[in-house]
Structure 1
Amino acid sequence: MTQPLLSIKNLHVSIADNPDLRPVDDVSFHIDPGDSVALVGESGCGKSVTSYSVLGLLEQSLISRGDMVFDGRHFDMSNRKALAQLRGTDIAMIPQDPGTSLNPVVSIERQLGDLVRVHQKITKRVAAKLVRELLARVGIPAPDRVAQAFPFELSGGMRQRVLIAMALACGPTMLIADEPTTALDTTVQAQIMDLLNSLIADEGMSMLFISHDLGLVAQHCNRAYVMYAGKIVESGTVDDVLREAAHPYTRALIECLGSMNSGARRLKTVRGIVPPLAERGRGCRFAPRCDRASDDCLFVSPELEESGRSHAACLHPMTGLDPRVQTSEVAR
């Protein structure tokens, strides 16, 4: 049986001044070699905090603890210095906003060139050649012109391609793509996702794809973990999670997307909001928003258990195929 490329066990992230407040609470997941895995949920659910924990990039106000194995190497996730050794050469991140992730007053050539020189110890001339090769590799048609440009002179799609080139610069075996198409229009979004898919296939890389967009997840990922208020509430193959969702939160997200695709005059929403850190009780965190919640749900925190063809953390899981949901429809 193939060993996971990345395995996270019992990840907790807490506020340094108040350890009882945990943006990420006992999260475990794994990514196999060549796998594309989605971490899905609303804003404020802890997706980005989870990804930053993997690379030791959390703010100083946050403390992480947990066990991680990457490519057979064991890491204590509280050891940021050890995790930093993975950045670039083993795991690379594509941030979500190309507009703020590049230095606006430094040329693309210098930003990308400095990166490769730090990791590869090469001369400026060799770095300049490599910069142009990387830009061409991500589909930029005029790499020499773009290399000499400043970020503000490029479109959002071009800036995102530059960030992907930076991520690929040191030959990582895994990419973390944190909402990589959020600021882009639909056409450019499709181009960027197609580029990521082809690069991952060509290089045999794995990807952790962080998104709230179930349509993109349906098109581009093999497995999915659904996250709510700092916890994983459902996991399984993308097809199983979308077509036979057992957790009411997952079903609610799918129904919201379905109302968008159907052209309904009134879009469906999930009532309420993700609870703030100080208001997350000991029970199911989705209970205040859930139509199926019982009194027990307010006091019992359910574990991930097999429910149909996925695993769901719910005392009252939903069962069976939802006839209104087809993966192909969600992917549109």
Structure 2
Amino acid sequence: MGRRGQRMNVLLDMRVLPLSGAGVATRELVRALLSLPNAPRLTLLVHPAVQGHPEIAELTQGGADLRRFPYGMLTAGQHLPWLASHLRGAGLFHGTHFDVPWTAPSPLVVTIHDLFPLDIPGYTSAPKRAYFRAVCGRALRRAAAVIAVTQYTKDRVVSRFGVDAAKITPVWLAASDAYRPDAPPGEMGVLAREYALEPGYILYAGTTKRHKRVDLLLQVYQTVAAEMPSPPPLCLVGATQEQVLECAGPGGIPDGVRVLGRVPSAHLPMLFRNASVFCSMSSAEGFGLPNLEAMACGTPVVAAASGSVPEVVDDGGILTPSGDVAAAAEALMRVLSDEGLRAELRSRAVGRARLFNWRRTAEATLDVYRRALGGT
């Protein structure tokens, strides 16, 4: 509830929906907020291009309202005050992206997923880096409260911008309920028919952006293939053949690597669940949702210990030094060759994943809303 017992009104920015990790997280947050017994009245800010998206339709059926906003991320700030002024009563604006209202009569909550444009050399152009620093800094100054998706991200915000740590609340993300160890009937048939795969492959899911270090992942697989007879294939989800080629060395994509490209979101839990191991060499993560999705499916994880990854994976997987191809290859070979270790890692992964829950995330987010509105 908002002030004086009013139902809280929240205008929530859903313009990130077409994007990768942040869009998935925002969709799941809205679902969880709508399921709370004390759910706020949610109005979702969407771009007209995704207004008819099935996931948007699902959220409106769950009780959310929509408001069209035909402006891009880089030009939105000047237009958002008009929208925020239409909130009634105990209203606030939740910016799930750093591009938030320049001025608004309602309190502002902003979520920060990462500071990659500032933290990763070459991540973006110098003008965009300067834009991010200016706009993100303004959002952090204006916000009544800030949500960071991990303690790691909170620490980076405090270090980079000097924001009062008390203003920032770490609120973990979670895997959706579809990511679970038990497989629905007929899943093996779909795996074989759609992807010509049998269970037991190595999986990576994500982009080929520089910090994801897919180049190192390919080197890891080459090392494994040189040491192990008939290793399982390495399946890459989320990238095109051309993008993977850009990451490969002069010899091209190694034998045994399958580029599955972008797949239907409904197939992702199946692909995670039937992998023998999930491997990521990413050198920077604000949260690292695929690692958690793998653990929620009971799939062992081998990941580089960088950014937020140790905070999220912890003892639920095997962490290797960032950038260490030999250590990652050795860990992969141990997992692939030792059934007892795989069973132990499956148990640890599921146990760790249970600590991350969207209902808990929604309740923590609602607590941040109350504080932003002057509650306790």
Q: Same fold (TM over 0.5)?
A: no
What is the TM-score with the length of structure 2 in the denominator? 0.28
Normalized per residue, the structure richer in helix is: 2
What is the TM-score with the length of structure 1 in the denominator? 0.31
Normalized per residue, the structure richer in strand is: 1
> Which of 1 and 2 has higher RCO (CA within 8 Å, sep 6+)?
1
